[in-house]
Amino acid sequence: MGIYVLLTLMSAGIGAALGATLNRVTQGALLGLLLGPIGWIVLFLLPRVPREKAPPNAP
């Protein structure tokens, strides 16, 4: 069971890293957490967010 938790958390981390390239860190983490690698693909299919309209990153 521990391997499933580890893989799920790794998938969320990868999703967050991919989301950071698109200014969608939270959405990337959630999609990676819930859908795994399919969530990564869905993340790249979402409409782009222009940099000036992206919410500011919290310090």
pLDDT along the chain (59 residues), means of 10: 93 94 92 94 87 62
Cα torsion angle, 38, 41, 43, 45, sign = negative
What pLDDT score was predicted for residue 38?
A: 95
Cα separation, 51 vs 22, whole angstroms: 9
What pLDDT score was predicted for residue 45?
A: 93
Four-point Cα dihedral 26, 20, 22, 18, nearest 10: -90
